[in-house]
Amino acid sequence: MRLAGGDGRALGSTTAGAEKEQGRGRDSVTATAIGAWVVVALLGVMTPGIDTVLVLRHTLVGGARGGLAVVTGIAAGCLVWATATLAGLTALLAASEVAYGIVRIAGALYLLYLGVTTLWRTLPRSRGGAAGGAPDIDMEGMGQEKPHSLRAGFVTNLLNPKVGVFYISLLPQFLPTGGASAMWGVLLVAIHLAATYVWYPILISIATRARGLLLRDTVRKWMERTTATVLIAVGIRLALE
């Protein structure tokens, strides 16, 4: 009987130890999970999309500073969505078809606005007879292009509900269930933003080196028109989803 009692205490001790270990696991993120999140963040950033189009377009128009301003706007928009996710607000957006639809339509309209205005600037009459109808280019990446680029990156991401869906669908899968989940959430969001500032400067550097070719009137005009077409197409697709 003492042997049985001893075995029971040992089993209880083992079970308690396992529960404590599981509890520790729920309060923290493993190195494997962090590594997986780094991969997810990089793939999400590097996958060509509307952000890539905006970065390339504003790098062409405003130089490296214009491109980096877009990146800062993109990061700010992502930060707003990430904060809303950690606060539980995006769950309300995902649960409400009306709220999701409002954000989706607003985002689609803004993309259509960007696309139409970009296309309009490539038309000869839109610039009062400017050569080739090409938009003005700030060769030093200075002037008013920087705040415009910052606003374009920020508003495009802020009005894109897919960014919110990205965070609400993926971020919780990497978070522990314990009370420290908010702290770990901040770390994972910081990793995602860091990935943004790792990849896009590389893309901007490549685009800047090729800027001499891309600034030729004919090439520039078709680049602008291609960008406008993509913006309009994505806007229409977002509106019809």
pLDDT digits (tens, 9 = 90+) for 137-175: 444 444 456 788 999 999 989 888 778 878 877 887 787
Percent of the chain with pLDDT over 90: 20
Buried b / exposed e along 24-55 (16+ C-beta atoms within 10 A): eeeeebeeebeeebeebbbebbeeeebbbbbb
Give the mean pLDDT of the chain.
Answer: 75
- Return the structure tokens found at 31: 């190195």
Whole-angstrom distance, CA of residue 214 vs CA of residue 22: 56
Can you list the alpha helix ranges (DSSP code H) found in the chain? 2-26, 31-46, 50-86, 89-95, 97-121, 145-158, 161-174, 181-209, 211-214, 217-240
Name the residue ranges covered by the structural domains of the chain. 2-240
User: Residue for token digits 């590594």?
Assistant: 35
Res. 92 pLDDT band, cuts 50 70 90: low
Whole-angstrom distance, CA of residue 122 vs CA of residue 119: 5
Res. 75 pLDDT band, cuts 50 70 90: very high
- Return the structure tokens found at 228: 């406008």
pTM over 0.75: no
- Residue 67 CB: number of other CB atoms within 10 A? 28
Cβ atoms of 235 and 118 closer than 8 Å: no
